[in-house]
């Protein structure tokens, strides 16, 4: 089963038996058996016929609609989870400050540990005193997440740790694409364009998975309630951000993406439509390929959500994702 990304502007999705047909200007450009589809993600101007929509609903296939910049416009979900008990438990515990802080500390601790893992992996191949110092600095900040650490202090620890980490991360970009610090809304350079796009689309995927399993993506434990923000999805994204950074680092340092793969629009820098198709091939590999005994990124996302559900149902320990 797979997540299928569609970016070809002006294309149309049609039903033919138990297969999905993709056409553009009357010409067939893809023919996909439904058995290979778990979720469909549409970017930009792509049409779906009514018979195709019904087929997707009958087969339990989610459909998500995005702008070309990755902003989630909406999701069509077949009826899946009817677990109202889980949803009530989620609402109850999200209002419990002690439980919420416990989950938040786990998430921030995991994020900092994963930042350290990314920097340490680089140091195995390259000697850099500033990066080595950043690893030690993050170790000290991680120790600051003590039992008596309050929510307001936790935000400060995460913010300062992220600054230390990004300052070190910028030294790791060695190719044509350089990273001079984090900027967004809109991204002003190529690396930030990749980082923002990856964060957004993985956050959107987590949102869909949470919705499908009966949790409310908008009710978080670390990120507060804010209109229109999928706070729980953002919570669960935090430990995966360093893994995304490592993915973007490889795309840049291996020369897979260059400045010519980006364009200026809407006041920022974004992938071109043609380079976006290539991006999704690498993105799918990042999400689905496992190595040795290690799980794939998507399996780790599932495991983290399952751990949270177990923690909600049984007051068990929540185990966020850690880079191995």
Quote the pLDDT of residue 80: 60
Of 33, 60, 76, at which residue does a domain stop?
76
Q: Which SS3 state, helix, strand or coil, does residue 208 take? A: helix
Q: CATH code at 310?
A: 1.20.120.920
Q: Quote the CA–CA distance of 40 and 248 in Å, as a whole number.
A: 23
Residues 11 and 134 reside in one and the same domain: no
Is residue 291 assigned to a domain? Answer: yes
Residues 114 and 251 reside in one and the same domain: yes
Is residue 32 assigned to a domain? Answer: yes
| Low pLDDT (below 50) residues in the chain | none
Structural domain for 205, as ranges: 84-314
Quote the pLDDT of residue 82: 65
Residues 72 and 89 reside in one and the same domain: no
Residues 111 and 173 reside in one and the same domain: yes
* Residue 199 and residue 244 in contact, taking contact as beta carbons nearer than 8 Å: yes
What are the structure tokens assigned to 9, written together? 């502007």
Is residue 151 assigned to a domain? Answer: yes
Residues 68 and 99 reside in one and the same domain: no
Quote the pLDDT of residue 29: 87
Q: CA end-to-end span of the chain, whole Å?
A: 25
Of 25, 58, 76, at which residue does a domain stop?
76
Residues 59 and 207 reside in one and the same domain: no
Residues 123 and 262 reside in one and the same domain: yes
CA–CA distances in Å: residue 226 to residues 199, 220, 223, 229:
19, 10, 9, 6
Q: CATH code at 14?
A: 3.100.10.20
CA–CA distances in Å: residue 27 to residues 4, 23, 143, 273:
20, 5, 60, 20
* Rg, the chain, Cα only: 21
pLDDT tens for residues 171-190? 999 889 999 989 988 999 99
What are the structure tokens assigned to 64, written together? 């998500």
Residues 71 and 88 reside in one and the same domain: no
Is residue 319 assigned to a domain? Answer: no
Residues 65 and 152 reside in one and the same domain: no
| Number of domains composing the chain | 2
Residues 44 and 175 reside in one and the same domain: no
Sign of torsion, CA 113 114 115 117? positive
Residues 237 and 192 reside in one and the same domain: yes
Residue 40 pairs with which residues in a beta bridge?
Answer: 4, 63
Residues 242 and 149 reside in one and the same domain: yes
Residue among 63, 150, 64 at smallest CA distance from 102? 150
Residue among 241, 279, 244 at smallest CA distance from 258? 279
Of 76, 95, 111, at which residue does a domain stop?
76
Is residue 207 assigned to a domain? Answer: yes
Sign of torsion, CA 105 115 252 181? positive
Q: Which SS3 state, helix, strand or coil, does residue 48 take? A: strand
Quote the pLDDT of residue 315: 66
Is residue 222 assigned to a domain? Answer: yes
Is residue 322 assigned to a domain? Answer: no
What are the structure tokens assigned to 309, written together? 């559900």
Quote the pLDDT of residue 316: 65
CA–CA distances in Å: residue 279 to residues 78, 135, 259, 271:
28, 30, 14, 9
* Residue 46: HSE in the Cβ half-sphere, 13 Å Cα cutoff: 24
Is residue 323 assigned to a domain? Answer: no
Q: Quote the CA–CA distance of 206 and 302 in Å, as a whole number.
A: 9
Quote the pLDDT of residue 157: 92
């Amino acid at each position: 089963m797979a997540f299928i990304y569609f970016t070809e502007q002006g294309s149309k999705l049609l039903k033919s038996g138990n297969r999905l047909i993709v056409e553009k200007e009357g010409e067939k450009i893809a023919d996909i058996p439904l058995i290979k589809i778990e979720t469909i993600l549409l970017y930009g101007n792509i049409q779906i016929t009514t018979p195709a929509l019904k087929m997707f609903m009958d087969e339990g296939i989610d459909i998500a609609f995005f702008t070309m910049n990755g902003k989630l416009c909406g999701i069509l979900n077949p009826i899946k989870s009817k677990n109202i008990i889980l949803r009530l438990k989620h609402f109850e515990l999200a209002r419990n400050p002690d439980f919420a802080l416990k989950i938040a500390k786990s998430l921030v601790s995991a994020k900092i540990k994963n930042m350290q893992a990314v920097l340490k992996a680089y140091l195995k191949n390259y000697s850099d005193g500033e990066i080595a110092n950043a690893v030690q600095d993050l170790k000290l900040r991680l120790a600051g997440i003590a039992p008596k650490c309050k929510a307001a202090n936790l935000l400060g620890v995460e913010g300062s740790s992220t600054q230390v980490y990004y300052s070190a991360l910028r030294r790791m970009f060695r190719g044509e694409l350089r990273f001079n610090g984090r900027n967004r809304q809109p991204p002003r350079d190529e690396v930030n364009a990749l980082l923002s796009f990856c964060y957004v689309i993985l956050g959107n995927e987590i949102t869909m998975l949470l919705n499908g399993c009966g949790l409310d993506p908008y009710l978080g434990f670390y990120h507060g309630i804010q209109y229109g923000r999928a706070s729980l999805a953002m919570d669960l994204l935090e430990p995966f951000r360093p893994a995304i950074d490592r993915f973007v680092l490889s795309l840049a340092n291996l020369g897979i993406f260059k400045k010519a793969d980006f364009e200026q629009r809407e006041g920022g820098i974004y992938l071109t439509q043609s380079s976006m198709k290539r991006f999704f091939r690498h993105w799918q590999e990042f999400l689905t390929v496992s190595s040795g005994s290690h799980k794939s990124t998507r399996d780790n996302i599932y495991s983290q959500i399952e751990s949270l559900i177990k923690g909600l149902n049984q007051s068990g320990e929540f185990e966020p994702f850690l880079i191995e």
